[in-house]
Chain A
Amino acid sequence: MALPENGDAEENGFGFKKYILKQLSDFGDAMQFTGKIILSYFPFFVKPPFEINEFLKQCYMLGNKTLGLVLVTGLIMGMVLTLQSRPVLAEFGAESWLPSMVSLSFLREIGPVITALICAGRIGSGIGAEVSSMKVTEQIEAMEVSATNPFRFIVMSRVIACSLMVPLLVIFSDIAGLVGAYIGVNIYNSMSFPLFFVKSFAGVDFMDLFPAILKSFFFGLAIGIVGCYQGYNAGKGTESVGAAANAAFVISSLVVFFIDLIAVQIVTLIHLFI
């Protein structure tokens, strides 16, 4: 294999530097976009023009259309978790702890994270594809010419809807997961629903539920921001629609895990002080 000429090496070095600068510049743009969204979050509800119709439409589109998928996944995950955990607990004679263990795992971690990942795939990529196709077909520019602020109309309505709908979907997923766990428990044993309910919530307190719902809000916010950023900054060709959808899913999934990691650390610290 021929060694690179000096010129090639210099060119490669220059290309790498250019790549790093481009990545830093993109990261800066993404942070600026995120900052703009955070600063516009509360003014969206109090400062005209109010885009309430678009916001409600997005809530319906994002929430209602993802609900079925979230319920089915939650139900299956609840059953699987119960069936997988039962033999281990049975070995130690702690089978009666099964509802409590499953509900705690589901409410604290599995429900929010699984729902957020489904939303990253269903909602995040959907937003990325929709907004990028609006950009490719000049709809965003057309909106600007019509004296409409496209950032407020397109981005803010979707991001806010996403940040409010994901926690709601997590609640539904938790309920479905617990129903799944109840079914799972009753496959090998017999337990009444009231007893299952009491046992499930015996070990659950406010500090298990509140952080989970709060982090779901941030999951939703991140999914909305990443989807809109990818769409809003898509290239001009039609291939950029697919690329934006794909990037929205991959990046928002990663961001969900990062937020989860940070949330776990914060909650652990809080538990230490309470």
Chain B
Amino acid sequence: MEKNTNEIVIEVKGLKKSFGNADILKGVDFQVRRKENLVIIGKSGSGKSVTIKCIVGLITPDAGEIEVLGKSMVGVSHNQLNETRKSIGFLFQSAALYDSMTVRENLEFPLRRMDKKISGSEIDKRVKETLDNVSLSDAIDKYPSELSGGMKKRAGLARTLVMRPEIMLYDEPTTGLDSITSNEISRLILDLKERYNTTSIIITHDIPCAKITADRVIILNKGNISAEGSFDELSNSDDQLTKSFFHI
């Protein structure tokens, strides 16, 4: 059954986070609806990565509320957090593949841990199918050190998608890649959204990536949201700060 696309799947209210004397987030509020791709743009150190790490529970916020699929991610037990995390995929900036494991083992790792009842044949089927979807079937038995930057990102993406998450969080998915590979990854993100019906938050500096993937864009500046709208609205904005992100 098609799920309601107006349903709010991620809600962030008054999110605050400081590290030492540095106030990174000063009260961030936003919502993400089902099947929406929200792109967050901002300068380095503006708190983009901190925001999505708070959403997935890797960083505990100082104040504010975060709800994912109607469940709170703040002040809950580790087990409750892990239960909600089963619905969230997180692509790290460096892809974060486990060096000591092959691509196949990297994909099997979360599957075996999050779903204890899954059979060996089902795992094998899911791994091969997911790798096929990111065009990485040939690298199934390779180690991360044998992969190129783009292939690592694809493998990292496959590792998150193998869990069939409802929500995807991308932390700078195109950083460190050449423009052609960046474009391929951006198209892949869009393609996977259609294929897996995922809701996504994409953190990026890469404006072409934002253009391809965004349904809505948020600009984070000095710990606050300074602008919000569609890519076209923001790229044609008269505001100097907003303009500076889109016109290099």
Q: Which residues of A contact B56 (CB under 8 A)?
A: 145
**Interface assignment of B126: CB less than 8 Å from any CB of chain A:** no
Closest to B59 in A: A141
Q: Which residues of A contact B143 (CB under 8 A)?
A: none
Q: Which residues of B contact A147 (CB under 8 A)?
A: 82, 85-86, 110, 113-114
Instruction: Report yes or no: A137 in contact with B94, Cβ–Cβ below 8 A.
Output: yes
A45→B109 CA distance, assembly (Å): 21
Interface residues on chain A, size class: 10 to 19
**Interface assignment of A68: CB less than 8 Å from any CB of chain B:** no
Instruction: Report yes or no: A138 in contact with B113, Cβ–Cβ below 8 A.
Output: no
**Interface assignment of B66: CB less than 8 Å from any CB of chain A:** no
Instruction: Report yes or no: B96 in contact with A148, Cβ–Cβ below 8 A.
Output: no
Q: Which residues of B contact A133 (CB under 8 A)?
A: 99
What are the interface flags for A125-144 relative to B under an 8 Å C-beta threshold, 1 for contact and 0 otherwise?
A: 00000000110011101111
**Interface assignment of B88: CB less than 8 Å from any CB of chain A:** yes
Closest to A147 in B: B82
**Interface assignment of B245: CB less than 8 Å from any CB of chain A:** no
Closest to A139 in B: B96
Total interface residues on B, CB under 8 Å, equals 19
What are the interface flags for B59-89 relative to A under an 8 Å C-beta threshold, 1 for contact and 0 otherwise?
A: 0000000000000000000000010011010
**Interface assignment of B231: CB less than 8 Å from any CB of chain A:** no
**Interface assignment of B133: CB less than 8 Å from any CB of chain A:** no
**Interface assignment of B58: CB less than 8 Å from any CB of chain A:** yes
Residue among A49, A138, A144, A146 making CB contact with B94, cutoff 8 Å? A138
Instruction: Report yes or no: A145 in contact with B113, Cβ–Cβ below 8 A.
Output: no
Instruction: Report yes or no: B96 in contact with A138, Cβ–Cβ below 8 A.
Output: yes
Q: Which residues of A contact B53 (CB under 8 A)?
A: 141
What are the interface flags for A20-49 relative to B under an 8 Å C-beta threshold, 1 for contact and 0 otherwise?
A: 000000000000000000000000000001
Closest to A141 in B: B58
Q: Which residues of B contact A137 (CB under 8 A)?
A: 94, 96, 99
Instruction: Report yes or no: A142 in contact with B90, Cβ–Cβ below 8 A.
Output: yes
Q: Which residues of B contact A134 (CB under 8 A)?
A: 99
Instruction: Report yes or no: B92 in contact with A142, Cβ–Cβ below 8 A.
Output: yes
Closest to A149 in B: B78
A141 and B114 contact, Cβ closer than 8 Å, known pairs A146-B109, A147-B82, A147-B86:
no
Instruction: Report yes or no: B96 in contact with A146, Cβ–Cβ below 8 A.
Output: no
Chain A positions 80-136 with a Cβ under 8 Å from a chain B Cβ: 133-134
> Known pairs A134-B99, A147-B82, A147-B113. 7 more at Cβ < 8 A?
A133-B99, A137-B94, A138-B92, A146-B85, A146-B113, A146-B114, A147-B86
